[in-house]
Structure 1
Amino acid sequence: MKNFICPLFFLLSFNCLLYSQDFVISGTVKSQEDNAVSFANVLLLSATDSSVINGTSTDESGTFKMKGITAGNYLIKASFIGNESAIKAVQLNADMEIEPLILDDADQELDEVIVTSLKPRLERKIDRLVFNIENTAYADGDVWDVLKITPSVMVIGENLSVKGSTSVGILINGRKVNIPHDDIVNLLSGTSAGNVQSIEVITNPPAKYSAEESALINIVMKKNIIAGYNGAIYNKYIQGVLPKHTIGTDHFFKGKKTQLSLNYSFKQDRDVSYYTDITNFTEDNTISTWSAEQEYLNNSKQHNLSVFFDYDINEKSRLSFTTITLWQPSRNRVYDTDTDVVGDDEFSRFHTLNNSEIQKLNTSYYIDYIYDLNEKGAQLSFNGHYTYYDHTRDQILESIFYDTNGTLSGNNDFTTDSEQEINLYSFQGDYESPVGDSGRVGAGLRYAGISSKSSITQQGFDRDQPGIDPSEVGNFDYDESIYAAYISYSGKWEHWKMKSGLRAEYAKTEGELDTDVLSVERHNLQFFPSFSIQYIPNENHSFDLYYFRKISRPRYNNVNPFQTFQSTFSTIEGDPELLPATRYYIAGGYTFDKSYTVELFYKKAKNGLSELIFQNNDNNLLQFISSNVAQETSYGIDFSVNKSFSNFYNCYLLTSFYSETFNFINISTNSMVELDQLGWFIRNSNSFSFLDDKSLTVDLNLVYTTAMLSGNTKFDAFGALNLMARKTLYDKRLSISLGVEDIFNQGNQFNTRHYQDQNGTSLKRGENRLLVMGLRYKFGNSKMRDNKKSKRVDERNRI
């Protein structure tokens, strides 16, 4: 116990990445004639489920080496042009050179045996949940669809949250995707899930990552384990009220020192939503009711391209290049709104048509260099990153007004041209090294620079309308520099796994509007501690405790000081005075049999960032304003079950009961408002595997939530039941999927605002019930097998 207390004290001050000693497996591959076999494939498999752990190829002399393997029990085999070696069992607890793997020249295809045990769909680790999606019915869909069924992730409409927090960052292969939330939806809904291995929900991000997000979602893409080439083409069709279509292709290549992955898709979306907004404006004890019926049509085309390239310079150094590009050459959005007015002295109704054309480009480039300092695992790495973002929008807004007698009384037409251009670049260096027998220390420095330039031109608007003050012309520059440093330590003992750390970030922001005296400058230095502790007395019991402090800085489009219009009497407004939000989270839980978990949590946020909706009673105006929420608090309890009840049925169930409170300033009265809500929600995913070869999978998923708060708005209960089936054919080369989302069409969202002088409701009726069809065909090296199927001999049953 004495040896445990000192590391514990140290760990509570520094972040640690969970560490276990890494070893090396080496050996040779030979033919039955005792000749060395060059460029043979060598696979390391899990002894429990035959999943692929690692892979490599032999060099010209027939030798191979696998690094970074943790202690445990494994299987190893070699193959070359259809010939395979016998499977050897390996118990690894130190660097090991195994006996030569001898290839059998006989054709072994008739000896193939299907391993029926599957890799667990959900793995719970000290700081994250790993959701393996390869054998789900959603593997032919897109990543956005997969997130809808991912544990701990909640998707409501186009809003994404993890454990109740919307401060969620997206990583692809560990690289942060730096794009606005709307583009995250577009990117992930255009990215095939067929080339995704797993989704990692990182609930307590390590200190090496920015302190911006409360949670990270890391999308781990598949890689070629052995040398060769394979690829796929896929097609996804969705029928709602209007059709939607995605077509794409994936390509993978692995050579002796290089590995390349290229993914491209084209997506065309056509969708429609209907809104009913009722606002009761009050002035001098007189109420006028404005009832707006709105049809929203969206038609967009989008190209997604991602490239991942890795090059092994030598045994100790590796170079990686990544590019992720989203190009939206055209997007047409039409808001057609009819508003009836009761109780107003001037209007009886008016009609507004808002037609906008949008073009968008978001392209990111990453370069990584990793150098292994020694055989013990010390490592030095450098990362450079650049993102270019350009968003233009041309809008025509036409309004026709009718007086109290129903007679045409006038019109108001105007145009809006806006553009936002962002250049974002960062540099980071990291150092990691083992400490003692079971620890690892890490440290790093990072610099990020952001330059955002926004412009707007609005012409033709009636300047005499009270309460309306659109920006006729303006240019707003917003620059940000962030300097960060962190130190981390990790370790594990007999029954303990722990990590903790400290990150410091200094941010300098400057904003300037050329048409006004507005100038904003802010300096901010903050520290962000975090820790995770896991106690595992035996294989049936596990206890977890974790804590973190994070920050959220305003998005660049939210600080633009422009007033733009969605209709004549509804505006969207940014605020350059927005403050960064700070968040605190602490949770502790218990897991039994790796399947049943109960967790208590408490979270608090100050100056939370949100878009709040306010009605301006003096000018009959509905304003959507980017604002700070003074304080948000929430506490509750989660119950979850993750268990395979048979070899063909897996169930995940999450139920959360919570209390939440929002405190914010009502801008019309300049007074504090407090909203409270008790609520609960349930997530249930059921996965079924049928047929002897598990080639037919069916997923049935349910989500239901009671009333909940979002900013200054209360949403009524809603839910959805989804069904998806997938069948693979021709040795898993071809897969076909078919499903229905929101079978009973219960996903409509109704919300209210009833407090002080605010009195309004909104109902959104979207394309909830959808017919989804997918098709995927894989081609290439037929000897490249997935990690659920392996040839074996009967002696393996004795392992």
Structure 2
Amino acid sequence: MKNLFYPFFLSLYSIGMLSAQEYSISGSVKNLENEAIPYANVQLLNVADTTLVNGTSSENNGNFEIEGVAKGSYLIKVSYIENESALKKIDVNGDVILEPIQLNEEAQTLDEVVVTSQKPRLERKVDRLVFNIENTAMSDNDIWDVLKRTPNVIIVNDKLTVKGSSAVGILINGRKVNLPKEDIINLLSGTSASDVEAIEVITNPPAKYSAEDGILINIRKKKNLVAGYNGAVYNRYKQGILPKHSIGTDHYFKGKRTGFSVNYSFNHDREVVTYTDLTNFIENNSVVSTWTAEQDNLKRSKKHNISAFFDYDFDSKNKLSLSTITIYQPEETLFYDTETAIVGDTLSGFNTINDSDVRQLNTSYYLDYVHELGKEGAEISFNSHYTYYDYERGQDLKTVFLGLDGNPAGRNDFSTDSGQRIDLYSVQGDYLTPLGESANFASGLRYAGITSESKVAQQGFDSDRPGVDPMETGNFSYDESIFAAYASYSANWDKWNFKSGLRAEYTETNGKLDVGTQSRKNNYLKLFPSFSLQFTPNEKHDFNLYYYRRIERPRYDDINPFLVFQSNFSTVEGNPDLQPATRHYLAGGYTFKSSYTVELFYKHINNGLGDLIFQDNDLRLLRFISSNLKRNTSYGIDLLINKDVTDFWNCFLVASFFDETVAFDNLGTNRLVENQMFTWLVSTSNAFSFLRDKSLTADLTFLYTGPKLSQNLRYDGFGSLSLLFRKTLWNKKTSISLGVEDIFNQGNEFTTRNYLDQSGTSLRRAENRLFVFGLRYKFGNTKIRDNYKSRNTDEGDRL
């Protein structure tokens, strides 16, 4: 181990010792009439593999200059719209002045029409799927809606899963977004996808990322390689039962050494959801009482989302990046109106009003630094981050009880105030070096610390039922420290592509409740191996095999030891004794002609985390409890088709067929329950382009999931069909999108819970069918991004 990390620490010492003489390259870009071409892309490339070394754009007079170029041989290329010059080799031994580079401007004008819009494309790499969406009908959507149409990503009622797993991390340009799942939705649903180049679904993440990231989704934004400024304003409107509205603005600036972007959006959401819940309370194996609850939920919220990214190149070898993401929710109101009818008990029913107010702030800051070493391809990097999360919720509950004659027989009013504050910080150092011409080795160290302070106060609760003992006041503190180290190796040999990694994480946790003196500690060390293997004998055939082991730690609000009442007869309960879950995933597949893929998989989870619903038949209480599952096992087959059916129609289809078993301990009886089911799902998206200039595009998507298991529930099958159109106008400066989500309103969920002493059903009816309208206008130098068409290299995209 000492020898393994010696180059890493040696490189730390050497940062200030390394220097090199730098020169400049200057010239001009002109058309065939010898007129200057402004805003053309000038790219300096590596001779060995044509990877990008540096770049700039021509000024209004056509002149350009690239500074900070080290001594050596390079290739230079100029492009404008779709027209590119031939590669030209230059040797840099001092400042270089080039002769004018000529481009055919007529070809540029013709090509600009061709690339106004294109169809989404799917690429398969050794450890990920890359879904390219630039200039498609999806560009006017928010990112959350784009994810709903991304292969292998399934989103149902704002619950995101990939290959059946909800342990999904979100990256933006390779940087992990450290937000709770609810805030991830807020961020992505309030951020336009117009600046997104591709969505990468990383099914087997590199070892440099936390072991909690079983699957990663990297939102890869476009990179401005040329100088200039542009911006945009946009508006997005949705209409269901109530309207939902988003308005925002994007701004981008690129200088010779600096790059800056800022994005802001304001979301005003109104959401209506209704539930019909039925519970059969059981005694001596017989139903003695049936409770039917009709609940109307109304949520109103206002959210401000702001993100900013700043990049600065000190020189060709040293780069600094600063970024911040903030979500501020000053106002959210939740209003629950529930009418419960009872048959076979001392009451005929009760009516409850739950009026809640929520305030939330979540802000994160990131710092990244990369230093390229003297050896080509070698680098060291450092990154750190800090997140502050503050959540407050107050709720007032008013309940009227009805006697057997249907008249009021009493009432109970009480209030609950709860809150949580979290500080999360981390620092990481990485070392990367090539091994020969076709292999790379990477290693790194990381520390992450978490402190959480939670509180609850409940007043006015009055009940004579035994066993109901809500905590009147309590404060719970939780500290977590994670120490990690990793090493990874990747290589390409002719037809083979291989990636592997081993990560070790040591975790220390300590939770303490101020009511009493007992504290809960849990320290553990775990290893997480992973590998991906790809064999491509020719252009028609591709084989892959991959495996990983990952961990999922309990969420901070799930470990709070509080019993909070949602009504007089339903509770939400945390569990400070939750254990981390470990996941094993093994898959192997075959792809034919880059279009047809079949993959077999096996998944096993120990101590899976979830919120289990249990009915207490003695207390007539419905309890939502954070719990560990004993195990969750599934195996099956995935099918993927990605095909250009015609020159204007692209189709991809994902289908999965699998058998799943979920085992857990039943509350009260302490008996092991095993639920088993064979299930399937299918998702398809069809992209169409119309008109001669392809400025009108459409996206038709369909999702159907068969009956399935989720924790201790069984879901009936359901589906949805959505259609979206997009039209670009005025030389692509304006775009209009129009569509309908879930056209036939089939996205309602029906769940059952029938085993041992549990008997209940629930029907959830949300605003599934939505009319969508979007408008976007771009201004400034809109060509600073649109005219860059060269593909990024694997090295440039390495995470």
- Tell me the equivalent position of 2:511: 511
Alignment of 1:435 onto 2:435: yes
Question: What CA distance in whole angstroms lies between the structure 1 residues aligned with 2:138 and 2:462?
Answer: 51
Deviations for 1:76-124, whole angstroms, at most 9, x for unmatched residues? 3256xxxx99732339999999994635599759843347475862111
What does 1:37-436 align with in structure 2 at a 5 Å threshold?
41-43=40-42, 56-57=55-56, 62-64=64-66, 76-77=77-78, 87-90=84-87, 100=98, 102-103=100-101, 111-114=109-112, 116=114, 118=118, 121-284=121-284, 285-344=286-345, 346-436=346-436
Structure-2 separation of matches of 1:32 and 1:220:
33
The change in CA–CA distance for 1:32 and 1:751 in structure 2 (over 3 A counts) is closer
Contact 2:76/2:90 (<8 A) preserved? no
Q: Any conservation in 2 of the 1:114–1:789 contact (CA below 8 Å)?
A: no
Looking at structure 1, the residues matched to 426 and 211 of structure 2 have their Cα atoms a distance apart, in angstroms, of 15
- Counterpart Cα distance in 2 of 1:657 and 1:26: 58
Mark the CA change 1:291 to 1:494 in structure 2 (over 3 Å): closer, same or farther: same
Q: Distance in 2 between matches of 1:37 and 1:63?
A: 15
TM-fit CA distance, 1:25: 14
CA positional deviation for 1:172: 1.3
CA contact (8 A) 1:649 1:686 kept: yes
Deviation at 1:599, TM superposition (A): 0.3
For residues 681-716 of structure 1, the C-alpha deviation after alignment (integer angstroms, 9 at most, x for no partner) is 101100001112211110000000110011100000
Q: Summarize the Cα distance change of 1:229–1:54 in structure 2 as closer, same or farther, 3 Å threshold.
A: farther
Provide Cα deviations, 1:51-77, integer angstroms capped at 9, x if missing partner.
x98972179995538999xxx9x9932
The alpha-carbon deviation at position 767 of structure 1 amounts to 0.3
Q: CA deviation at 1:27?
A: 6.0
**Alpha-carbon distance in 1 for matches of 2:321, 2:600:** 41
Alignment-derived partner of residue 48 in structure 2: none
The aligned amino acid for 2:300 is: N
Name the structure 1 match of 2:472.
Answer: 472
Please give the per-residue CA displacement for 1:239-264, whole angstroms capped at 9, x wherever unaligned: 00000000000000000110001000
| Partner in structure 1 of residue 764 of structure 2 | 764
SS at match of 2:536: strand
**Structure 1 unaligned blocks of 5 or more:** 1-9, 11-23, 47-51, 791-799
Paired residues of 2:657 and 2:679 also in contact (CA < 8 A): yes
Instruction: Name the aligned partner's letter for residue 379 of structure 1.
Output: E
Q: Letter of the aligned partner of 2:332 in structure 1?
A: R
Tell me the amino acid that sits aligned with residue 751 of structure 2: N
Q: 1:54 to 1:371 in 2, by over 3 A?
A: closer
> Would the aligned equivalents of 1:325 and 1:364 in 2 still touch at CA under 8 Å?
yes
One-letter amino acid of the structure 1 residue matched with residue 314 of structure 2: I
The aligned residue for residue 730 of structure 2 is: 730
- Number of paired residues? 755
Higher mean C-alpha displacement, 662-671 vs 516-525: 516-525
Tell me the amino acid that sits aligned with residue 378 of structure 2: A
Q: Secondary structure at the match of 1:745?
A: coil
Determine the C-alpha separation between the residues in 1 that align with 2:737 and 2:633.
42
Q: Is the 8 A contact 2:77 2:88 kept in 1?
A: no
C-alpha deviation, 1:292, in angstroms: 0.1
Contact map agreement 2:30 2:36 (CA 8 A) in 1: no
Q: 1:85/1:618 Cα in 2 relative to 1: closer, same or farther (>3 Å)?
A: closer
Tell whether the 8 Å contact from 1:78 to 1:101 is kept in structure 2 after alignment: no
Residues 31-40 or 669-678, more deviating: 31-40
Moved more, 111-120 or 716-725: 111-120
496-505 or 103-112: which moved more?
103-112
Q: Aligned-pair distance for 1:332?
A: 0.1
Deviations 1:195-229 (A, max 9, x none): 22211111001100000021011111223221000
**Would the aligned equivalents of 1:56 and 1:225 in 2 still touch at CA under 8 Å?**
yes
- Quick one: which amino acid aligns to residue 89 of structure 1? A
Q: For residue 266 of structure 2, what is the amino acid of its counterpart?
A: F
Q: Which amino acid aligns with 1:641?
A: I
Secondary structure in structure 1 of the residue aligned to 2:213: coil
Conserved 8 A contact 1:695-1:728: yes
**For the structure 1 residues 291 and 315, does the alpha-carbon distance in structure 2 shift closer, same or farther, using more than 3 Å as the test?**
same
Partners of 1:685 and 1:231 lie apart in 2 by 30
- Provide the rounded CA distance (Å) in 2 between the counterparts of 1:650 and 1:38: 35
Aligned to 2:12: none
Is residue 76–residue 89 contact of structure 2 (8 Å, CA) maintained in 1?
no
Q: 1:31 to 1:684 in 2, by over 3 A?
A: closer
Do 1:41 and 1:55's aligned partners in 2 also have CA atoms closer than 8 Å?
Answer: no
Q: Which amino acid aligns with 1:348?
A: S
SS in 2 for 1:139: helix
Identity %: 55
Per-residue CA deviation, residues 146-184 of structure 1 (Å, 9 max, x unaligned), is 111001100010110000001001111211111211111
Summarize deviations over 1:571-591 as a string: whole Å, max 9, x none: 111100000000000000000
Offset at 1:271?
A: 1.0
Q: Distance in 2 between matches of 1:485 and 1:33?
A: 54
In structure 2, relative to structure 1, the CA distance for the partners of 1:472 and 1:99 (3 Å cut) is same
* Cα distance change on mapping 1:409 and 1:246 into 2, 3 Å: same
TM-score between the two structures when normalised by the length of structure 2: 0.90
Cα distance change, pair 436–243 in 1 and its aligned pair in 2 (3 A): same
Shift of 1:540: 0.8
Question: What amino acid does structure 2 have at the position aligned with 1:618?
Answer: D
Alpha-carbon shift at residue 775 of structure 1 (Å): 0.3
Contact 1:279 1:291 in 2 (8 A): yes
1:795: which partner in 2?
none
Between stretches 111-120 and 380-389, larger displacement belongs to 111-120
Structure 2 Cα separation of the partners of residues 686 and 383 of structure 1: 40
Residue 654 of structure 2 aligns with which residue? 654
Letter in 2 for 1:184: I
Question: Does structure 2 conserve the Cα–Cα contact (< 8 Å) formed by 1:310 and 1:319?
Answer: yes
Match of 2:488 in 1: 488
Contact 2:724–2:737 (CA under 8 A) maintained in structure 1: yes
Alpha carbons 2:120, 2:650 under 8 Å: kept: no
CA change 1:95–1:204 in 2 (3 A) is farther
Q: Tell me if the contact between 2:432 and 2:440 (Cα under 8 Å) persists in the aligned partners.
A: yes
The whole-number CA distance in structure 2 between the counterparts of 1:777 and 1:33 is: 30
* CA gap 1:707/1:95 in 2 versus in 1, 3 angstroms: farther
- Please show how residues 375-774 of structure 1 align to structure 2 within 5 Å: 375-774=375-774
Cα distance in 2 for residues equivalent to 1:686 and 1:595 = 14
Give the SS at the match of 1:558: coil
Task: Name the CA distance, whole Å, in 2 between partners of 1:437 and 1:114.
Answer: 38
* 1:661-683 alpha-carbon deviations (Å, 9 max, x no partner): 00000012101000001011101
Cα separation, 1, equivalents of 2:121 and 2:132: 5
Quickly say closer, same or farther: Cα 1:85–1:659, change in 2 above 3 A: closer
Aligned partner letter, 1:311: Y
What's the offset of the Cα at 1:788?
8.1
Check conservation: 1:155, 1:161, Cα contact below 8 A.
Answer: yes
Q: What residue in structure 1 maps to residue 8 of structure 2? A: none
* Aligned mates of 2:429, 2:358 — CA distance in 1: 38
Q: Do the aligned partners of residues 76 and 690 (structure 1) sit closer, same or farther apart at CA in structure 2, a change above 3 Å counting?
A: farther
Structure 2: distance between partners of 1:779 and 1:436 = 47
